[in-house]
Amino acid sequence: MIDRYISNEINSIWNDQNRFNTWKLVQEKFVETLEQLNIAEIGVAEKIRKAEVTKDEVYKREAITNHDLASFVDILQEKVGEGSNWIHYGLTSSDVVDTANSMLILQSIGIVEESINNLLSILQERAIQEKDTVIIGRTHGVYAEETFLGNIFGNWHLEIQRNLKRIESSKNNIAIGKLSGPVGNHSVVTEKMEKLTLEKLDLAPETFANQIVSRDRYAEVITALGILASTYERIATNIRSYQRSEISEMFEAFKDGQKGSSAMPHKKNPIGSERISGLARIVRSYVNTSLENMVLWNERDISNSSVERIILPDAFHLISFMTSELNSIISNLIINYEQINKNLTNAKNKSMSQKLLSHLVTKGIDRDTAYRKLQDGIFQDLSFNDLKEDLEKEFEIKFPDLESQESKNVDKTTFKDKFQ
């Protein structure tokens, strides 16, 4: 991941040194199990724990072996010395790498979950603050009916909440390790050895394994992140729309000293939201890649390996960055109440059309006749009052105060409860 979008927390998990340390932890717990079963001599696991294998040592050895895991094992054995023959006993590379990957993915999910929960808290707070703020709703980008800004924020909140549940659900299917040998048949490592070791790592074994942890598990996690990224882009796209000059109802905060354009001093651009929209496209591309990674030859090939070195850390880097960015945007979002009210006034003859139509229908007027009459008046751009008077004369009826009925169908006393 380029420095611009790196998350320090995610980087602490996926940097090469921590990856090698996690490989070492898998080897340590496996040998600890061998000691527990009186197969290996006591003390080897402790020597593994104390041994330090640096990334530079692995890089140097890999230049010779052209195999990072084999290089790591060679160096670890040299550091441990006596008893090191039990390191990697009966294991294949994927046993160590895939088990470690599951651990790294779970740690990354934990960081993402925490940041998403922070975002949800802020969105809920802003929704409650704006529950009574009336704003013109738009469908197809065109004036529709009046709605509440709190409802818009609440809608965003609940969609992110559903995404969080998807991510939480994916944890169950990725909390899987595999220590069953080159084709998953336990030719050397017994099921008992595998189970005891994985329990120490808070993982469950792959019940019917080949050489790897099945990649549908990875795809489920990446897909959940891809859906979340699309939700973030939907929110960001709408904020960008609200900030357009001809709408001007909401704005991203603009810091002291900030410049919106190198050429035009007047510019205040929604760059945070645009950044989220762009990065979402990258995360979504990883979804397709993770699905393609499911298709491997027989018990496995390594066409997935080079891909996962990129998409696993980068997907979490980007989601972490996007969550933080959206958190900041929502926290500091500026609401232009004056412009909201101006747009409501300009849209009044349109936003009340369904209420007018519904009232005419209740008076026994043919719906299509009423619809066409309303449409004609609105297309002539009659003001709301002129439109209402025209309809009252045409159909010899009297409209009630429709505007005073605006909020009666929504119980605002239960608004906060909807977030439970």
Quote the DSSP letter at residue 86: G
Beta carbons of 73 and 87 less than 8 angstroms apart: yes
Q: CB-based contacts of 218: which residues, under 8 Å, 6+ apart? A: 101, 105, 174, 290, 293, 308, 312
What ranges in 185-296 are assigned the alpha helix state H?
Answer: 191-200, 215-242, 271-292
Q: Of the listed 12, 187, 261, 383, which one is catalytic?
A: 261
43: closest CA among 96, 90, 88, 84? 84
Mean pLDDT of the region 189-199: 98
Q: Of the listed 140, 245, 262, 404, which one is catalytic?
A: 140
- Per residue in 219-255, pLDDT (tens digit) is 999 999 999 999 999 999 999 999 999 999 999 988 8
Q: Cα–Cα distance between 339 and 121 in angstroms, integer?
A: 27
Share of the chain above pLDDT 70, in %: 98
Half-sphere exposure of residue 296: CA atoms within 13 angstroms, side-chain side = 20
- Per residue in 80-90, pLDDT (tens digit) is 999 999 999 99
Mean pLDDT of the region 152-181: 97
Mean pLDDT of the region 2-10: 96
276 token code pair: 């989220």
| Active-site residue flag, 214 | no
Residue 404: its pLDDT value, please?
A: 57
Q: Cα–Cα distance between 316 and 282 in angstroms, integer?
A: 12
Mean pLDDT of the region 193-220: 96
Select the more confidently predicted residue: 418 or 98.
98
Quote the DSSP letter at residue 383: -
Residue 100: its pLDDT value, please?
A: 98
pTM of the model: 0.93
| Active-site residue flag, 140 | yes
- Per residue in 42-59, pLDDT (tens digit) is 999 999 999 999 999 999
Residue 260: its pLDDT value, please?
A: 84
pLDDT band at 267 (very low <50, low <70, confident <90, very high): confident
Neighbours of 72 (CB within 10 A): 27
Instruction: With H, G, I as helix, E, B as strand and everything else as coil, classify residue 134.
Output: strand
Residue 258: its pLDDT value, please?
A: 83
Quote the DSSP letter at residue 36: H
Residue 395: its pLDDT value, please?
A: 93
**Amino acid of residue 310:** I
pLDDT band at 408 (very low <50, low <70, confident <90, very high): low
- Per residue in 285-294, pLDDT (tens digit) is 999 999 999 9
